[in-house]
Structure 1
Amino acid sequence: MMQRVVKTIASLCLVLLLAAQVGAANLEDKVVEHTFKNGLKLLMVERHSSPTVSAWIRFKVGSVHERSDERGLAHLLEHMLFKGTRTLGTKDYAAEAPLLEKIEQTAQLMLAEEAKGGKADKAKLAALRAELAKFEKQAEQYVIKDEFFDLYARNGGSGYNAFTGRDGTTYLISLPANKLELWAAIESDRMKHPVLREFYTERSVVMEERRRSYDAEPSAKLWETFVAAAYQAHPYGQPTIGWTSDIRQLSRTKAESFLKRYYAPNNAIMAVVGDIKPAVVIPLVERYFGDIQPGTPVPDVPVQEEPQQGERRVELLGDAEPELVIGFHKTAIGSDDDYVFDLISSILGQGRTSRLHRSLVLEKQFATQVSTFDAPGNRYPNLFVLYASPRAPHTAAEVEQAVLAELERLKKEPVSQQELQQVLNQLEFEEARRMGTNGGLARNLTEYESIAGSWRYMTTYRARVVKITPADIQRVAQQYFTRENRIVGTLVTKKAGGAQK
């Protein structure tokens, strides 16, 4: 019985691997791309297995593109762009608009007074806050909550969401194929006529999110502190949500300026995957999005992080179990060494057969879990990260030494061809799984077009990684896994009378 199960699983894996290889080869023929006069890039793939479609829009602007006085804006705008337009989310925009202006005028006065710090006029500040609350209360009567969500839900839409990272911001939806025009009407209206209503209310929501999910969450706080320690110059070191003081000084005026500059068709990549015909989709998108004016092209980030001159260590005390994070600076996506790091990540920390899982979790039982990944972004030089949760009574220090020993082994011992082939199979298996859904393919198309410069990164990926040799892995391990290039973060459990690692 067990042999039959193993053979069945092996056969399934083989089918998926072949599907991945064939899929990558055929993707070049299946993707139809069209760029409109205003710079909007549209990527389409026909899939007629079900009468549904996934539509993703990625703006090539994220928190890495914020100036020092704009930190947190990209994430806050992700929230705000669900609030509606001049026609959606409001009962009467003509009556609402003057109140929105009064809110902003009052908020600007309040922010200016708050900026004085200890010299602020407390009575004046209290009066301005009360006036702001009054205008916000009056504006509430015109707001229709969650109209975008309700429209999509009533028409069979699902998975309506958005996410913001260092490198970009994405809005996504899956819906019946015959409702694609509804999507075009809603999303083009949001790109043309967004209204940042309830701005200061939502800013307070984000500040509470920051307090609850970061400041009060030891694991998240460790990660945030770790990344900030890793980057002294490059904006990758700043949290996407922004620091508390960053969020507090954001205004609707700043947000509208940022929005107008960057959230425009020339900075957008659209992917429509599913039961479609490109000959129908192109004129549809042209009709709804073609008259939107381009904005300012999102600039490259010229800042380069200087090489570290020694190990950096951060420690955080918290009411939580110990954690360990180790990072090494590395190259960005698309570089020769980045492909090697993909294999190293699989060898060390991806899945139950990885070296670190076998050694630290199963054999030595030093940790309850271990993983590897790239962070905090991909478009610019980033970090190769190893994460572990120590298993009591073992300490973070013990786990750290065990991890470093595995890295030394990678430097000194060539990876066997058998292990290398297993890792290649695993990478292809995961890629087949991700591309198996309309949404997964739409995500890959928009993401790689944005951060790698072309969605064709997917079609050339396998040809690049199969050329990697054990010697390449040793070279990269020796070059990057050094003490002076290392950042270590530990979460130390607070105990009565002291701390325990």
Structure 2
Amino acid sequence: MRSIGRLLAALLLLSAGVPSLQAATLAQKVQEHTFANGLKLLVVERPGAPVFSAYLTVGVGAVHETSNDRGVAHLLEHLRFKGTETIGIRDYRQEQPLLKDIELTGSELDRLRNESKPDPRTIAALEQKLAGLQERHTQLVIKDEFAQIYARNGAVGYNAFTSKDLTSYIVSLPANKLELWASLEADRMRNSVLREFYTERDVVMEERRRSYDSDADGLLYESLLATAFTVHPYRNPIIGWPTDIANLSPAVTRSFMERYYSPVNTVIALVGAVDFAQAVAVVENYFGSIPPGTPIPNITTVEPPQRGEKRVTVEFDAEPRLTVAFHKPTLPARDDYVFDVIDHILSQGRTSRLYRSLVVEQQLATSVRSFGAPGYRYPNLFVIKAIPRHPHTVTEIETALYAELQRLATEPVSEELLVRVRNRLRVDHLRILQSNGGLARMLTFHQSISGDWRYLIDYEEQIASITAEDIQRVAATYLVPANRTVAVLQKKGI
């Protein structure tokens, strides 16, 4: 994923690329309201096309999990599509006792599977019982009713995603469907039912096998994070480790949801043909009476300074590849802005240094790219990935890569290059800001991560103030051997 920082520049230039904002700055156009239960609403009125985009972002993600519930935020993203007491089910009163039987049977099955000497006959009997209960339950379920309702009302882009830091539910709708959106999302927040739990847990297990265990890039990235971070929870995969997923229970999942998926941790952004006063009234009507919930705790675990290079080798039946990561600060540190510029200099586009050197001139690699990862709430990593071009090796790429990083630390970049990078940043960001959804995402992201969407306003000014000396200093400070983690994927038997 490209650095979120690079999605945030040129907001004071919106009038040039987004006519609906006219000559006003973003600071003047964003209207906000905080409700009594802690829910935050951000609105940008764009009275052009009769549509709006809605982002509902809960500031909870994989970083907030513990050893008892790793993977739960991602699983909840799946489960909260299943419906509520009135959506996704034919008869909730008939469903309730069946859900209890399913939970009791599934929990006993999990307990027996974790015994040192499980009885296969007992397990087989319970598996058969659980399958029968789930089959009965299927007869009561209305599949994908949330999505069906939205589709019937002209919605597009209905989706959700979970990251290390937050979870977002997104959709775009006709302007006259604001109340429908509020009623559906408030119902989801207040009355979500974790139905089809064990079925969906199996789906996530299969997703993990497909995206990590059986995928070269996923496996290497997961190994990189687990090596680069010693204690910080950024080391854990969003999807969870296999045993984490297998041992998630309905009770633990429900407890996590009821604590954190609540107004005090939620930011809503509505961008498009929306009237602010109407939006406040509608959101108050549907969300206002929901209890605040428990504020998400700050992660007190601090990753200790790295005191030497770390390396990990992963064997897999795929072509070799290299990933190198360096610890770095996150927003709002000035050095995080500098890394946005460094990222562009090194790997964004065919004229970037790494592409030109490794791919074009030396022909050592077929591809190379850099990005910030894995999250943005806490200090993170600057990551560089490259794939060798046959017959060249990972070692050759690594040597050439470090030469370019050393050059960045010792040779000042030209003012011409800095101007070109700033212009590219502006163009990239304006493309995203032309969409209602792009702006809504950025507003909820920064309100959730940094506590104030206004972080966006001075981004262009910060980027414009970065000097060649800043780039040299940051490269010499962070892009050094003692601060790097190297993950190499090689074929089995080599």
Change (3 A) 1:390 1:24: farther
Give the gaps of 5 or more residues in structure 2: 1-12
**1:128 CA drift (Å):** 2.0
In structure 2, give the amino acid aligned to 1:61. V
CA–CA separation in structure 2 for the residues paired with 1:228 and 1:72: 15
Helix, strand or coil at the partner of 2:457: helix
**1:351 CA drift (Å):** 1.6
Q: Which has the higher contact order (CA 8 A, sep 6+)?
A: 2
CA–CA separation in structure 2 for the residues paired with 1:402 and 1:47: 48
1:460-480 alpha-carbon deviations (Å, 9 max, x no partner):
111112111111111111111
Picking from 377, 391, 396, the partner of 1:398 is 396
Match of 2:49 in 1: 50
Match of 1:103 in 2: 102
**Normalising to structure 1: TM-score of the pair?**
0.94
Picking from 203, 206, 210, the partner of 2:204 is 206
Match of 1:79 in 2: 78
Helix, strand or coil at the partner of 2:139: helix
Does structure 2 conserve the Cα–Cα contact (< 8 Å) formed by 1:329 and 1:382? yes
In structure 2, give the amino acid aligned to 1:346. H
CA–CA separation in structure 2 for the residues paired with 1:311 and 1:390: 22
CA–CA separation in structure 1 for the residues paired with 2:407 and 2:212: 35
1:188-222 alpha-carbon deviations (Å, 9 max, x no partner):
11011000000000000000111111101111101
1:163 aligned onto 2:169: no
Does structure 2 conserve the Cα–Cα contact (< 8 Å) formed by 1:17 and 1:432? no
Q: Which moved more, 1:125-134 or 1:44-53?
A: 125-134
1:350 aligned onto 2:348: yes
Helix, strand or coil at the partner of 1:316: strand
Does structure 2 conserve the Cα–Cα contact (< 8 Å) formed by 1:372 and 1:385? yes
Match of 1:306 in 2: 304
In structure 1, give the amino acid aligned to 2:236. Q
1:274-324 alpha-carbon deviations (Å, 9 max, x no partner):
011101111001001101001110011010111112111111122222211
In structure 2, give the amino acid aligned to 1:30. K
Match of 1:339 in 2: 337
**Normalising to structure 2: TM-score of the pair?**
0.95
1:112-144 alpha-carbon deviations (Å, 9 max, x no partner):
22222x322333222222222221111111100
1:478 aligned onto 2:449: no
CA–CA separation in structure 1 for the residues paired with 2:410 and 2:231: 33
Match of 2:10 in 1: none
1:380-410 alpha-carbon deviations (Å, 9 max, x no partner):
0000011112111111111111110000001
Does structure 1 conserve the Cα–Cα contact (< 8 Å) formed by 2:62 and 2:163? yes
CA–CA separation in structure 2 for the residues paired with 1:174 and 1:157: 6
CA–CA separation in structure 1 for the residues paired with 2:309 and 2:465: 32
Give the gaps of 5 or more residues in structure 1: 1-14
CA–CA separation in structure 1 for the residues paired with 2:204 and 2:321: 26
Q: Percent identity?
A: 53
Does structure 2 conserve the Cα–Cα contact (< 8 Å) formed by 1:24 and 1:459? no
Change (3 A) 1:349 1:301: same
Does structure 2 conserve the Cα–Cα contact (< 8 Å) formed by 1:16 and 1:429? no
**1:441 CA drift (Å):** 0.4
1:454 aligned onto 2:452: yes
1:400-452 alpha-carbon deviations (Å, 9 max, x no partner):
11110000001100111111111111111111111110000001101111112
CA RMSD of aligned residues (A): 1.6
Match of 2:383 in 1: 385
Helix, strand or coil at the partner of 1:240: coil
Taking the TM superposition and a 5 Å limit, the aligned residue runs for 1:244-393 are 244-393=242-391
CA–CA separation in structure 2 for the residues paired with 1:127 and 1:44: 55
Does structure 2 conserve the Cα–Cα contact (< 8 Å) formed by 1:17 and 1:425? no
1:14-66 alpha-carbon deviations (Å, 9 max, x no partner):
x9895489989710000001010000000000112211110010100000000
Match of 1:115 in 2: 114
Picking from 139, 142, 146, the partner of 2:140 is 142
In structure 1, give the amino acid aligned to 2:114. A
In structure 1, give the amino acid aligned to 2:319. E
In structure 2, give the amino acid aligned to 1:100. L
Helix, strand or coil at the partner of 1:163: strand
Helix, strand or coil at the partner of 1:119: coil
